[in-house]
Amino acid sequence: MRKFLIDTDTASDDAVALIMAYQWSDIDVVAVTVVNGNVSVEQGTKNALYTLEVCNASTPVYIGCGQPILRQHAYADWFHGSDGMGNMHYPEPTLKPQSEHAVDKIIDTIRQYPNEITLVTLGPLTNIAVALLRAPDIAPLVKRCVIMGGAANTVGNVTPAAEYNIWVDPEAAKIVFHSGMNMEMVGWELSRHDAALSVTEIEKINQFSNKRASLAIDSNRTAIEASINIQGASGLTLADPVAMVVALDPKIVTHQGKYFVDVETQSKLTRGATIVDELGVLKKTPNMNVIWSINVSRWKEHLYNCLQ
């Protein structure tokens, strides 16, 4: 069994990513840690616990950092709804979070399982950055760190230059990107274009008629509208599940490469931009495996299999 530690700001697409991890046969999710991002850390924790209940899972959930390292928080209710779950306002989960802080759990878990943990980050990188600042020794102990974040030399989704997770806490992202971990950047653009779910594909999932499928589509009601009306997408973009599928099935990647990647923290115009030195003009040592493309039909096939 492969050991996953999932750090999430649980909103609607995070919920789908969590479902995929729990439906994958050889994955043991050893902990779920929650960070402030799409919604408050308290709401994100509630959403994570509710999703785990739908999955009949009992993985311990830990509450993490409630705000970015230096910035004011900026929620994504315009995309995910006021509750992060498409304004479905699901009932209070019966599961409860653990008392230990998420940062402590991240450090302890990586030390407990050296070179075994795949760290999947689905939200701003605040929890991970704080853990690395407190315990830099954990960086080389992480087997893989799959980051849903950034935009590889392309358009952003919260500003023209930046993807939301990186933009929210760019200082945290910069710390993580320069930590020396074995990292993979799965930019939001991989969920666009053909990777977005069409109306027909959404209806196909609806017809599965089970709790997982219902949660996946219902919680993304506002995300579907925002994807089409604000982002000009052909359907529902699911950035977190795309990152999760890269973590689950590395063979889905069709083009990737190692590059030096940095994060802009000073400019108001390009705050949070992920600068990929694609041509090596900076002559700096590569620090990130950038995922440029995936097998889109295989991504959707995996999604259907996990929701059936």
Look up 169 and say whether it is catalytic. Answer: no
Q: How many helices (H) and strands (E) does the chain have?
A: 12, 10
CATH architecture of 2-307: Alpha-Beta Complex (3.90)
Choose the catalytic residue: 9, 14, 83, 240. Answer: 9
| pLDDT at position 307 | 98
Strand 61-63 versus strand 274-276 pairing type: unpaired
Q: What is the pTM of this model?
A: 0.97
Residue 68 structure tokens:
């970015």
Q: Of 147, 141, 133, whose CA–CA distance to 116 is shortest?
A: 141
Residues in the chain: 308
Write down the H helix ranges in the chain: 12-23, 41-54, 77-80, 102-112, 126-134, 164-168, 170-177, 199-206, 211-218, 221-229, 239-248, 296-307
Domain ranges of the chain: 2-307
| pLDDT at position 99 | 98
Please tell me whether residue 233 adopts helix, strand or coil conformation: coil
How confident is the prediction along the chain (308 residues), in pLDDT tens digits per residue?
A: 999 999 999 999 999 999 999 999 999 999 999 999 999 999 999 999 999 999 999 999 999 999 999 999 999 999 999 999 999 999 999 999 999 999 999 999 999 999 999 999 999 999 999 999 999 999 999 999 999 999 999 999 999 999 999 999 999 999 999 999 999 999 999 999 999 999 999 999 999 999 999 999 999 999 999 999 999 898 999 999 999 999 999 999 999 999 999 999 999 999 999 999 999 999 999 999 999 999 999 999 999 999 99
Cβ within 8 Å of residue 151, ≥6 positions away: 157, 161, 162, 163, 187, 188, 189, 273, 274
